[in-house]
Amino acid sequence: MTAPWQRSFLDFAGPGIDRPSDSLRVTDDEAADILAKLLAQAWTTQLPARLLRNSGYTIRHAREGFNTAIFKVGQIVGFYAGSYLWISAEHRGKGLSTPLILAAAEQRGGRIMPPGVVLQGYTPAGLAAHRKAHRQAILEATERIIPGRVRRPDAADFVRLRLAGATR
């Protein structure tokens, strides 16, 4: 299976990166409908998520389909369901989108689009979250391959070179 860091950003996120729009935001009503469906699903055990360590949050995949959710005290507080990414307002700004996006991508073969989806739209904030997640995947892989590399002053240049041609 290909990991997110092995893909260009375009391959990771798909061609929808070209036209982000606020009209693609998941509304509270849409999120409530999706949450109702997700609550009926069976979930895997907690996934290892280094970025969530000691936070009280856990990430799990649905046992069927391509849905990933983030839980706090047994309640879903965010999800990547199909092509819909959403985090509850009271849990936003806590760094949850990166581990959620990366967990969904790992379930989906290193990209975020589930099988059968050829184009996924983004809000500007959603696109920024996906760029951050992709960059984080590259930084973590770099650290595993070349220990200490991401702590060097030129680490950002190294990552930028890896992302060259894939940042449109």
Can you tell me the distance from the alpha carbon of 20 to that of 64, in angstroms, rounded to the nearest whole number? 29
Residue 38, token pair as written in the block = 């997700």
Can you tell me the distance from the alpha carbon of 25 to that of 14, in angstroms, rounded to the nearest whole number? 17
Residue 58's beta-bridge partner residues? 71
Digitized pLDDT (tens) for each residue of the chain, 168 residues in all? 788 888 889 999 988 888 888 888 898 899 999 999 999 999 998 887 766 766 889 999 999 989 999 999 989 999 999 889 999 999 999 999 999 999 999 999 899 988 888 888 899 999 999 999 999 898 888 777 776 665 665 665 655 555 554 444
Can you tell me the distance from the alpha carbon of 165 to that of 11, in angstroms, rounded to the nearest whole number? 11
Confidence at residue 151, expressed as pLDDT on a 0 to 100 scale = 60
Rg (CA), the chain: 16
Can you tell me the distance from the alpha carbon of 80 to that of 61, in angstroms, rounded to the nearest whole number? 10
Residue 9, token pair as written in the block = 């950003």
Domain definitions of the chain by residue range? 4-163
Q: What is the pTM of this model?
A: 0.85
